[in-house]
Every structure is written in C-alpha cells, then in structure tokens.
Structure 1
C-alpha cells in the first residue's frame, strides 16, 4: 500500500497525465477545426496531384489512366468510387478502388502490380502516387451515397468472407475486428471506436476514407487502414490488395450503404 505522500504524489502524477492527454486531445481538435474548411484540408492538394497523375502518360507504355474502367465504363470516374468494391469481369475478381487502379496501371501503362504494391503506402510525411490516385478517384464521388453492388456471386462471396474475417479472432492478442468495433460508445486512447455493425458506425470510416491523417502528415487509404488494424492486433502483415482486405472493405461498405461520402476526410 502506498504511503500517504506517495499516494498523493501518484494521484497528482496521474492527474497531470490525464490533464496532459486531455490538453493534447483539445489541441488536436483545435487543429482539426482549423483544417475543417475544405480549402485548408491538405487532402485536396493530394486529390489535385492525383488528377494530374491520372492524366499524365507514364510507365513503359507511356499511357495515361484516362481509359481506366472503374466499373461505370472506360474513362468514367465520376461516381465510380461510390459503387466499389465490385466484380470486374476482365480481371476475374472483386476489386476495391486501390486494386482496380493498380490493375489499370499494369494493363494500360505497363507498371507491374508488384511495383504498385511496393509504393502503395507512403512513409510518414511522404507522398505515394497510389494514395494520390485513390484520393482523386474517391473525391469524384463526394456527396454521393455508398452503393456497393452485391448482385454477382463473387461479390456475395467477398461479403461473406469479410463478415467471417471481421469476427475471426487470431494473433497473440486473440483479437478480431469485432473486439474493438462491435460495441457502441467504446473508446481507446481518447479515440472513439465506431460500432461497424450499425449503419451509423460503419459510415464513420467508410464515408471519410481515403483521408488526410494529421498525425501521419500523409494521405491514407482504406487499404492502409486494414494493414494498420492488423498490425495493431499484432497479427501478421496483411498484403495490400489481398482478398482478405477487399472482403473486409466489401463487408463494411455494404454495412454503410446509403451514407454520403465526404472525402477527403480528416483524421487524427
């Protein structure tokens, strides 16, 4: 048992720590408010850069991505992100926006998917062509409702796999996605944890990713969010563009169906 003076000191230290955390949280909220004006969100600069990359010839074939079919026809970008992930007959798989852009880079520009995967995530404070391209495509669906299709048998398979993976416990911590995201009002390190089983909770990440992360000083995609969540659960790294990540994104997108997109988002 602590002696009285030690107890007082410990309580004071705890109060300072809590106060410090609260102050940091307040500072972050102030900073986020400063960036709440659309013209102040650095994500819009990344979207503009992505548009330039989309229209600039690149790769061994020296071609642009303007002929990329994102599901609504070759060259149609407006509204495409709101209807992904989806089945693509030409690729023979369900794809999210990241993997579809990667596929278009390979087929149209000659840039191998393996090369795209290597540069899919930027270092803290850095830039990635893929992050900028994804954000550009996503921004062209801003204000539209999420309507991920689920008519094709492979889309239904992806949804079922995503649901199974959401609840599958594994790793050294015996965690699953549901451990943190199946309860309303849960928090960790002053951070709210949305209940992804409810339409309202699922809308929190699905309408605002890709996003600009203040603490990373970078744009982050939902593929990165999947990788980061697996890392935080102390599981083996999940590969960019894997069937598991696409399945989880399909599951969450369907749970958030009808919610309006507001990308780029702004996160801590």
Structure 2
C-alpha cells in the first residue's frame, strides 16, 4: 500500500473513532477497540516520514541526523529510547528524546529551532510537526524492549528528585498537580480511566506507550506534548518545549516505569 493509500485509510479510521467509542465507554470496550486498530495503526505513517526525515540532509549545514548520538553511539537507534532520559556529556545536561533531537538538529544540521520549537512542535503543519514523526521513528526502534533509565549518574538522580517535586507541586488557578489525577487508583476524567503513575503498571500506560496516535485528534503526540497538554488542562502558562523542568518530570516518570515494555507507537483516545 502506498503512502497516499495509507493516509486515506488513516483519515477514514479517525472519522469512525468517536462513534465507535461512544457505543462502549467501558475499559474493556476501549481496550478492544485499540487492539483492533493497532494492526493498522495510522502512526505508521508518521514512523515512515520520520525515517525519511532522519536520513534527509537539511539545515544550514546540509546534514542528516544519521550521526546523532542518542546515547548508544552515533546513529545507533536500537534500544536508545529505552534508556532515555540520560545525561549527555557533550551537552552537559540530562535530556529526553525530543530534547536530544533538538540538540542534534541545532548542532549537526545547523537549525535555528527557537522560532518554532516552543508550541510549534505541536502543530499539525510546518517544521515543528517534524518532531512527532522523528520521535516516533526513533521510539519504534525500542518497541518491545523494557525501559531501563539509569539513575546512578548524579545529574540524572537530581533530575528524578526535581521531577518528583514537580509531580506533587500544587499550583495554578485550580491548585492542581500531576498527583491530583495520577497518584491514586480508580480515578477518571470524562469517563476515561487515569493511570496511577506511581505504580509500575500505571507507568506502563502513562509512559511506555508514547509516542501514540490520538484518535480524537487524528495526530501522533509525544511525551513532551503530553506534558504541555496536562499543564494546559491545569490552566498553567504554556510550558516551554524541551525545558529542563519537563525533562526532569519525564525522568522521574520514566524511572518509575523501568521494566515496562515499550509499546510505541500506540493507540490512544
């Protein structure tokens, strides 16, 4: 099937999503729906585009991302996502996948990412939308592997502690924190079950299944987008894309998720 045919199938599938979900809002019904759709996951389109973008020479340096080091060595992708976030000596900081990709785009390809990589990375069109595709391509190379974030490095350990503080910190007009929704069993929002991210099995749903195709949005979303969206729903100001704060929060949650099987790209509501 060519890419155009895949795109038509993806649009058609997304159009059917809401009526199907409306018929059965139970956890079992949603799980069955996702399982049925997984075989023809529209996110495969993003994964294919991400591979092309990874290999395409771009930027002022006319270079590809094929020598980007995600922690396993230049250009080595298998298992890299499973060990992120991690400390990178060349950047002298802890980075998650998207932060590292932005770093490689700036240093290897010569991109000036600041004009569009704040909220622009979350748009459906334009240069920023490339991130979801590239992240999906990279994450898929760790599909089926277990998360194993190494927290022994002092910088990573510090990020975990900062992320934990942020997870519990109540603020904003609603006085919400991440823990408000994700620190207890049995919570729901709009009939949707919320994972308890403090449990390993909850982290499997909340962390190990991103990037994912959001049926309700007909888009692939990443963990960075998930963090932005959660803060937006808490009515906080927009969080900066790939900020140290977001990376710390992801480091904390990924560390809890250690041992969980990565299932990316996934299907979500």
TM bucket (normalised to shorter chain) is 0.7 to 0.9
The residue number in structure 2 matching 1:104 is: 104
Query: What secondary structure does 1:216 align onto?
Result: coil
Q: Classify 1:72/1:173 alpha carbon distance in 2 versus 1 (closer, same or farther; 3 Å).
A: same
Deviation at 1:202, TM superposition (A): 1.1
The residue number in structure 2 matching 1:79 is: 79
Kept after mapping to 2: 8 A contact 1:103/1:113: no
The residue number in structure 1 matching 2:250 is: 249
* Aligned mate of 1:35, from 27, 33, 37: 37
Q: State the superposition RMSD in angstroms.
A: 2.1
Query: What secondary structure does 2:121 align onto?
Result: coil
Q: TM-score, normalised by structure 1?
A: 0.87
1:192 paired to 2:193: yes
- CA distances 1:184-214 after superposition (whole Å, capped 9, x unpaired): 1111111001111111111112111010100
The residue number in structure 1 matching 2:170 is: 169
Q: Classify 1:120/1:127 alpha carbon distance in 2 versus 1 (closer, same or farther; 3 Å).
A: closer
In 1, distance between residues paired with 2:33 and 2:268? 11
The residue number in structure 1 matching 2:227 is: 226
Deviation at 1:244, TM superposition (A): 1.1
In 1, distance between residues paired with 2:74 and 2:257? 27
In 2, distance between residues paired with 1:22 and 1:73? 46
Kept after mapping to 2: 8 A contact 1:102/1:116: no
| Structure 1 unaligned regions, length at least 5 | 1-19
- CA distances 1:214-266 after superposition (whole Å, capped 9, x unpaired): 01110100000000000111111111101111011000001010001010011
The residue number in structure 2 matching 1:113 is: 113
The residue number in structure 2 matching 1:23 is: 23
The residue number in structure 1 matching 2:129 is: 128
Farther-moved stretch of structure 1 (78-87 vs 196-205): 196-205
In 2, distance between residues paired with 1:202 and 1:193? 11
Q: Classify 1:116/1:76 alpha carbon distance in 2 versus 1 (closer, same or farther; 3 Å).
A: farther
Kept after mapping to 2: 8 A contact 1:214/1:267: yes
In 1, distance between residues paired with 2:246 and 2:150? 17
Q: TM-score, normalised by structure 2?
A: 0.86
Number of matched pairs: 246
Kept after mapping to 2: 8 A contact 1:127/1:218: no
Residue pairs, 1:138-157, within 5 angstroms: 138-157=139-158
Runs of 4+ more than 2 Å apart: 20-34
Deviation at 1:120, TM superposition (A): 1.3
Deviation at 1:128, TM superposition (A): 1.3
Deviation at 1:178, TM superposition (A): 0.4
Q: Classify 1:67/1:115 alpha carbon distance in 2 versus 1 (closer, same or farther; 3 Å).
A: farther
